[in-house]
Structure 1
């Protein structure tokens, strides 16, 4: 950190000399602030980006992120080498099984009075974890409008970049990647792909043991349950899922069709539904080994990535249900008490660059869809994306179909608890 003084708050940290500049150029600042409002009319923080870069040099940041995929871990490792080369920042990936543990860690630090020396500088979040951090004032910001690469984000095209599981983002987390729930089938064994959740049940009944899903509260297992519930309710019946759970009675009434569906599905699952995969990687292995014929992913490019790595047969194909499929955005946040906020800001901005986003979206690397609006990028930056070739194992963006919005975060916890009460053994 530079030796100049800082005025601090839990939201923003602005050098005194920047405040002097602000007084001198008050009219200009007012125009900038008003022209870029965030949801809820929060004031946009104004940064001298060169000042931020200087303060970030030589710093080490601890990035708490899910570590369950070697493909993703390798990408984060690569990103670490780039921010080191470009900005002198050391990125340490703290591999987490469940990011809610990190949220609890930050909350414990706050309760202990640790407001400036937190152990977490950067966190990969969305959904209920974002809501918990936001509700408990554990996030630094709003900051996203201050990022130079923010102007390239496809926010207008994707509502999930501004509404996270029905919770307004309000600049408190930066979009990092897109997700869409897709099914993956071995076309050598599945001649006609199920068109909806009821078709899937019919397929499972005709082909016992050929399908399964990870045990909730595994994220992917819970997402399958929500996809099933949304499809079963259909149309206007889905609207109740966008609002907080009102009561236990309401929850049971709304979800009753889901439990009826699962009661029929479980006896015809892999291992007769008496055991469930602990995670999606294990479930994918079951397909690769021929034990099941249909799996799923929240990454539309998973099939191609795994074929390239000889982890899926070449006959796998991606498909979606006709009525639509759950989609969301995953984000990067900065804890309110992060020690090195400037280095975290620089790192996030780099992760939103065309170079970093194109590498991440390449199925040979990770295959995570970009959050950038490619059409407004410079020609040189667009070339990063146009050079990426996709195989017949995955769908085009157009063929991914309609996006179904996520449920309100309160439904996730309620569904997981009810599932455990009914089916845990």
Structure 2
């Protein structure tokens, strides 16, 4: 009897196209022909992409993506504009409870990471592993950017495809702050020398929470405890050095640490006005964007702490019951193309750092990315420190509010 050896790539591609047009048996296909058949199944599908819509540049970028995938693959991409990804998780959860199985869902693709991915993975709300079978996944930097395979310390296991990078970054006018702090300890020393001229966003603002997590990473006795959910019995002991640091820092902050700015945009404006010495962001390209838009002077520089700052990857995922699963995979693969990643990294379009390893790209595609940093971009990127497990967020925010609000 003849037996057939089926590659993992072939299995995933065929499994993920179940809701599209009929395809040949997987054993009869090479990876190339399997993908070609998946593209054929995707043609004519409408992909409902649920994605945050709070940025004009992001919305414009998705309009460009929609035009590209329509022209190249015959896929209609609909941007379902959302304000909170948690609402999408609730919707898919409700569909599962109502028995809406494969092909019966209302969400085909979702922009996701962190707690929302952890919840969907835990509750089996995502399509079986498919991301690492995408043709363009081979260009992803899984070594230099390990968070492309690990979402807030939760392994992605091929259930979401990396889309963009983020890393905790500081920026300031070099004329006012010629020697930026390179650690939380140096930040505390600066705050003591310049009282009232440093702050961070009030939690639960995401950037404010990241500031607290960065401080936790720099003060925890054993960082390995942060890769797993916190144990209630040990939470106080693990976080005690963090609260000691914040207790020392807060009296020297803006308004004595009794009030905190609402969000990073408020801090950016206060820094631009000279009220604060530095600002903070999770997008390393934000200062360059602001300089290009002439909202910040060209003397603004950005940096990350010498030993590293928290970073993560944001992804796209496909719910288990997506109606256009084939089309969603084709769109996700396009989002990983050099063409799409270079446009997204371009500060004139978005300025979102790429997930690709440029050294893996053919020379012509590598040339789509700038070779030198622009004014305001990080000149010397620091190591990316992994996010603590997603389950740390809620208890940290609750304890912070209890202590400081």
Shift of 1:355: 0.4
Residues 212, 269 of structure 1: 8 Å contact kept: yes
TM-score, scaled relative to structure 2: 0.88
Q: 1:420 aligns with which of 397, 401, 404?
A: 401
Q: 2:52 maps to which residue?
A: 66
Residues 324, 404 of structure 1: 8 Å contact kept: yes
TM-score, scaled relative to structure 1: 0.85
Q: Distance in 1 between matches of 2:145 and 2:381?
A: 14
Structure 1 unaligned residues grouped into runs of 5+:
1-10, 33-45
Residues 231, 323 of structure 1: 8 Å contact kept: no
| 1:254-293 equivalent positions in 2, closer than 5 A | 254-293=238-277
Residues 67, 73 of structure 1: 8 Å contact kept: yes
Q: 1:394 maps to which residue?
A: 377
Greater Cα offset, 167-176 or 372-381: 372-381
Shift of 1:389: 4.7
Q: Distance in 1 between matches of 2:168 and 2:264?
A: 13
Shift of 1:119: 2.3
Q: 1:108 maps to which residue?
A: 94
Q: 1:120 maps to which residue?
A: 107
Deviations 1:170-210 (A, max 9, x none): 10001111222111112121132112102212222332332
Q: 1:298 aligns with which of 282, 293, 307?
A: 282
| 1:20-419 equivalent positions in 2, closer than 5 A | 21-22=25-26, 25=28, 48-115=34-101, 116-233=103-220, 237-247=222-232, 249-385=233-369, 387=370, 389-396=372-379, 399-419=380-400
- The RMSD of aligned alpha carbons is 2.3
Q: Distance in 1 between matches of 2:262 and 2:71?
A: 38
Query: SS of the residue aligned with 2:231?
Result: coil
Query: SS of the residue aligned with 1:400?
Result: coil
Shift of 1:230: 0.5
Shift of 1:121: 1.6
Query: SS of the residue aligned with 1:292?
Result: coil
Shift of 1:412: 1.6
Structure 2 unaligned residues grouped into runs of 5+:
1-14
- Over 3 Å counting, the alpha-carbon distance change for 1:380 and 1:170 in structure 2 is same
- Over 3 Å counting, the alpha-carbon distance change for 1:238 and 1:380 in structure 2 is same
Residues 181, 297 of structure 1: 8 Å contact kept: yes
Shift of 1:404: 1.5
Shift of 1:354: 0.6
Query: SS of the residue aligned with 2:356?
Result: coil
Query: Would you say how many aligned residue pairs link Structure 1 and Structure 2?
Result: 389
Residues 22, 41 of structure 2: 8 Å contact kept: no
